[in-house]
Amino acid sequence: MLVKEMMRSPVTVVGVEATIGEAHELLQAHGFRHLPVVDRGRLVGVLTDRDLRFATSNLCHTARTAEDPVSGAMSSPPLTADPLDPVEDAARIMREHKIGCLPVVDGGELVGILTGMDLLDALMILTGVTKPSSRLEVALADRPGELARLTAFLADRHVNIHSILTYPSPEAVRTVLRVASNQIRPLAEELRTAEFTVLWPPPKPWQH
């Protein structure tokens, strides 16, 4: 999944000459938390609701008023993403820098914005929870062919896979699938009989 598939566009912006009061009204009117700041169409900063609260509080050494320009409160230079960046790379940047959005720039032009909520939407799509499905989690040995063995097992039973996500653990590769089946417990028991380690759904108490 790429940034361009999840970014919001067109983007509401504020000019660098705008006042803090004007920016606050714009954020409130649209229910936004982030505003890209532009100077003659060029992205020069990002203003957040948190920036505004801090800039006008007594905690700021040079507390500002509603009449001061946003240039004194914005974060600059802003970190940005490219429309063709993988969405997971954008998530990593946002997490590492503890920021809530990334303006998306293509050839110097601001074309979108990606926020933390957009990343949650991406996670929901990638995990398949936006479609009717059931969750299956299996611990696979970290060696070639194990994932193919699992998917072949499901294909033989005509079970459609909506999504597959994997992540390492000390003992195995944990593999989370969303599958088009409402008979997930019988399917899990078939997998256990075939010597797969099924983590979810757990066996019923009397099956231990």
CATH 3.30.70.260 fits 128-207, yes or no: yes
pLDDT at position 56 is 78
Task: Tell me how crowded residue 150 is: count the other CB atoms within 10 A of its CB.
Answer: 20
Confidence of residue 16 (pLDDT cuts 50, 70, 90): very high
Scanning the chain, the segments in alpha helix (DSSP H) are 3-6, 20-30, 49-55, 87-97, 116-127, 146-156, 184-193
- At 62 the pLDDT is 62
Confidence of residue 65 (pLDDT cuts 50, 70, 90): confident
In the chain, domain spans: 3-119, 128-207
Query: Do the domains at 3-119 and 128-207 have one common CATH topology?
Result: no
Taking the mean position of all CA atoms in its chain, how far away is CA 189?
33
Across the range 131-135, mean pLDDT stands at 93
CATH code: domain 3-119 is 3.10.580.10
- pLDDT reported for residue 149: 97
Summarize pLDDT for 183-201 with one digit per residue, the tens: 999 999 999 999 999 999 9
pTM: 0.85
Residue 110 contacts residue 43 (beta carbons within 8 Å): yes
Q: What is the pLDDT of residue 61?
A: 58
Cis status, amide bond into 77, omega within 30 of 0: yes
Per-residue pLDDT tens digits for 147-156: 999 999 999 9
Backbone angles phi, psi at 53, to 5 degrees: -65, -45
Pairing verdict, β 161-168 and 173-179: antiparallel
